[in-house]
Structure 1
């Protein structure tokens, strides 16, 4: 299917950029997922499982909108932005601030955290930008678009808060 999209020149390039940006986090995620399990480091395994599953879900949503003929939906874009925000907040609280901002990390930790942060930040920016473009194309004011997603936004806030709370205890 993806080769057909490429051959017909129907690729939504912003979504393709997201797929390229997430290649390192996927590689690292699967590597660590199996590494933690193999080393009986189960406390981190559950933490990694959450990141792996949310990353896969977000990537699946991006893949579903890769074809320009398929109209992106506000709900999918909000889900992508919410997952990216969850990763930014969880990674920021967990490692990014300590390793990168405060400069306490080794080179491999800093480069890992910058790679994770940059891909999640790109996901957040592109999803919000696509949502704005969608509102502009449909001639829907941003306030009305957000009101139509009110329940979804509230659900996202509750889920993100809950997951961050759970992660702080894992």
Structure 2
């Protein structure tokens, strides 16, 4: 029964994600922090070439300013990182509670992670000044995919004797 405590880790992490998704954009906006605490204007010449469209909006220093551009990448990096961690927590819980192949555990972990990412985006549709976007699920999936790569790399290193057991 003690081994099922590992399921608390992904459940708690999912709670953190849910809480974050329930906050309106204004409560998560880090542009005032960036603008008041740090003067990042020196980065503008290095970032002025960045320009692309994301969710029907232009992402560039011209439109968002340096602070807004950095905030954009911090927010998208958070998507990547949060779901990277969630996959690892699902994998750990499954590994500790199920006797299946590593490949099946990774596939299940990925499916659970993506399922939660989709439901999280749906949940954002009910939050003030937040919109669900499939592109964010893609970023979440890339983060989860990188976590799979780390698990495989560690597994390979352990099996090949690169890491002491």
TM range, smaller chain: 0.3 to 0.5
TM-score when normalising by structure 2: 0.35
TM-score when normalising by structure 1: 0.34
Higher percent of residues as strand: 2
Higher percent of residues as helix: 1
Q: Which has the larger radius of gyration?
A: 2
